[in-house]
Amino acid sequence: MRKKIIAGNWKMNMTPTEAVNLVNTLKPLVNNEDVDVVFCVPAIDIIPAMEAAKGTNIHIGAENMYFEESGAYTGEISPKMLEDAGVKYVVIGHSERREYFAETDETVNKKVLKALEHGITPIICCGESLTQREQGITIDWIRQQIKIAFLNVTADQAKTTVIAYEPIWAIGTGKTATTEQAEEVCAAIRACIGEIYDEATADAIRIQYGGSVNAGNAAELFAQPDIDGGLVGGASLKPDFGKIVCYNK
């Protein structure tokens, strides 16, 4: 049985003071031992959010990371910095990073390898645009993203990673993929992992759905056989996130 993992993606929201307040508001609401709970927060919020989350079931994660150890990369945050801060999860290749910051499948792969080298679990994002869905090439596109993201990743490493399937047309739009659409792609991702590695790896890897998840649709989505939780944007900033995390209560 795979343990569910539900992660909030705060995006570019919350000052350090607001971050502490939000962790304090959410901590009594996200207490569900059946789920790994992660708040992926802006880099400047990592330390204060960790302090605020001390002694709770909340893991603080990062939203991005560079693939070099250190050096002349102004504005970037390194895997070594995240490791030293005690960060255990990092979102890699979110569609907003691909769209606005020119991330590619190749940079995603480099970041995945680096995160793993530093003992940080990458939450690897993939997803199709509306045009790709309408052209019927969703599965081919996602398979390509997955195959490149996992280049040179061993089966043992792959088992520890998390994949977030996030159709771009569903992110921040209020349009959720139907349960059938979400399950179809998550099952195809698992099959692809099975082809790259083996059945044991496919069975172990956790696959999230993301895209306008809310308190009303979480339970149905997370009940699907290949959906092991969610990556949640907008709703992770509200008390509603507690209802998403406690979807099975």
Q: Is 59 tagged catalytic?
A: no
Distance CA 176, CA 244 (A): 14
Which of 233, 241, 242, 244 lies at the binding interface for ligand PEP (CB under 6 A)?
233
Least distance CB 248 / ligand PEP (angstroms) = 19
In whole angstroms, the minimum distance from the beta carbon of 26 to ligand PEP comes to 15
Which residue lies nearest ligand PEP, judged by its C-beta? Answer: 233
- Using CB under 6 A as the binding rule, whether residue 208 contacts ligand PEP is answered as no
Among 32, 109, 212, 217, binds ligand PEP (CB under 6 A): 212
Helices (H), 33-104: 46-53, 79-85, 95-100
Could you give the string, one character per residue 118-157, with x where binding to ligand PEP holds by CB under 6 A and - elsewhere?
----------------------------------------
Helix (H) or strand (E) holding 6: strand 4-9
Helix axes 179-196 and 138-149, enclosed angle (nearest 10): 40
Q: How far apart are CA 114 and CA 69, in angstroms?
A: 9
* CB of 123 or CB of 202, closer to ligand PEP: 123
Q: Is 9 in the site for ligand PEP (CB under 6 A)?
A: yes
- Residue whose tokens read 């996200």: 30
From candidates 14, 227, 232, 244, binder to ligand PEP by CB under 6 A: 232
Residues binding ligand PEP: what is the number (CB under 6 A)? 14
Calpha distance 40→7 (Å, rounded): 7
CA-to-CA distance for 51 and 209, rounded, in angstroms? Answer: 29
Classify residue 177 by its DSSP letter. Answer: P
Q: Minimal CA–CA distance to 91: which of 74, 113, 112?
A: 112
Among 94, 96, 103, 183, the one annotated catalytic: 94
Whether residue 118 lies in the annotated active site: no
- State in angstroms the smallest separation of the CB of 142 from ligand PEP: 16
Picking from 92, 86, 83, 41, the residue whose alpha carbon sits closest to that of residue 62 is: 41
Q: Is 211 in the site for ligand PEP (CB under 6 A)?
A: yes
Interaction between residue 234 and ligand PEP (CB under 6 A): yes
Cα–Cα distance for residue pair 96/143, rounded to 1 Å: 19
Active-site residues, by number, are 94, 166
Chain residues that interact with ligand PEP, rule: CB under 6 A: 9, 11, 166, 171-172, 210-213, 231-235
